[in-house]
Amino acid sequence: MSYLPHTDADIKAMLEAIGLERIEDLFHDVPENVRFPELDLPEGISQMETAWKLEEMSNANLPGSHTAIFLGAGAYNHYIPSVVHHVISRGEFLTAYTPYQPEVSQGTLQAMFEYQSMICALTGMEVSNASHYDGATSLAEAVIMALNVARGKRKKIVLCSGIHPEYRQVVRTYTQGMGLTIEGDEGSEADPEKLAGLIDGDTAMVAVGYPNFFGQIDQIEKVIEATHEHGALACVVADPIALGLFKPPGWMGADIVVGDGQPLGLPLSFGGPYLGFFATREKYVRKMAGRLVGETVDVNGEKGYVLTLATREQHIRRARATSNICTNQGLMALAAAVYMSVMGKHGLRKVAELCYHKAHYAADQIDALSAYSVDRSKPFFKEFVVQCPAPIAEINDYLLDAYGIIGGYDLGRDYPDRENQMLIAVTEMNPREEIDDLVKGLAEVAE
């Protein structure tokens, strides 16, 4: 049976019921010039022809699996075990949005709980949420949390210039109109020790990169100590793969550890969706944005999972919410949890070691070229800066045309004084042959 009106009389009766005369009156708020546009659409085609057309368009792409990639700068080409895709593709996970009914969402909640537990182990922190959109929003939420901890008495944030430029831009966007002073994020030299001179009694939070945006490992302990001496919170923006090898920020006294979880089993995917991890000290848990899944027992003594904290406006009064983040990348958190569980601490360490040694092999070979020089002023992990003899765009065009290689990141885009400097990322996915081709291509450019 159809409930739609079929006659002019039916339509007229419905319009009269709502006080209108014509159907056009329903669109009164839409400007007339765009109210009923005439679309110049091509003739329809069959499903088979549509598939041909889409395949033709897709062939214009250059899949990451078909080329050598040395581009990092926040998104990295790491190996993803096949089990990650198989688990997150299961219908009960793939179609789940968010556990509004926790008592019937035990599988989703357990996955989030395990994710939180592994992020805490990786970062050396006490609690983790599950989770944020990406590394940039995690850092911005860390700023908001620090302001909430300070209860509005502190209005200064210090950001090291060695933090991803886009992360710093997102922080400024998040906090515009809040009367904050953001210092320390100018210039192109990541020098955390100089940040100590910017910290004062009005500072709510200090953030440093680990490794920094240039792939370097800074001595951040002194910055954390200086931050605590002034009563501020210390935030570390970390690469999760690096934490498989290096000392966790929590062991160095960090109050907040954030970053992008993309290296933990998420493909490049043309920029997303990604995952922002966020871990902190237990004493700040009620100021933390997002949601926290906890483990408990039911009335029968059986293990169960619950939303322990959900300090967002969808769950509590808007005035009491710590953030207006509406949801999280639940499926991405599941992918990260599966990745960390199948890799284990030994697997993560192995990946980190491969990245470290391959990056240093590449740096040695490039540094041996007379026209290039590698920045070795600090230890580095899987990324390093190269001074080049020509514009980076020209070098990358040659590498792609001659060798099918996606080259490094042009640092001059974000740092004007770093013209002709390339940020090269090397992961476990780059065999020696690819690195040698990269070096050969760079040498040919110089010639």
Q: Which domains does the chain have, with CATH numbers?
A: 66-78+344-446 (3.90.1150.10), 82-340 (3.40.640.10)
pLDDT by residue (tens digit) across 18-75?
A: 999 888 888 888 888 888 778 888 899 999 999 999 999 998 888 888 899 999 999 9
Percent of the chain with pLDDT over 70: 94
- pLDDT band of residue 346 (cuts 50, 70, 90) is very high
pLDDT value at position 309?
Answer: 81
392-403 and 432-446 are packed helices; what angle lies between their axes, rounded to 10 degrees? 120
Provide the whole-model pTM. Answer: 0.87
pLDDT by residue (tens digit) across 190-203?
A: 777 788 889 999 99
What residue has token string 């030299």?
A: 189
Percent of the chain with pLDDT over 90: 71
How is residue 384 written in tokens?
A: 């390093």
pLDDT value at position 22?
Answer: 87
Mean pLDDT computed over every residue of the chain: 91
Phi and psi torsions of 225, nearest 5°: -65, -45
More confident residue, 8 or 86: 86
Across 221-226, average pLDDT: 94
- Residues ≥6 apart with Cβ < 8 Å to 411: 188, 214, 385, 392, 418, 421, 422, 423
How is residue 427 written in tokens?
A: 């992961």
The Cα 21–Cα 135 span in angstroms is 53
- pLDDT at 324 exceeding the cut of 90: no
List residues bridging with 159 in a β-sheet: 207
- pLDDT band of residue 104 (cuts 50, 70, 90) is confident
Asked if residues 156 and 202 have their Cβ atoms less than 8 Å apart, the reply is yes
pLDDT by residue (tens digit) across 386-398?
A: 999 999 999 999 9
pLDDT value at position 4?
Answer: 57
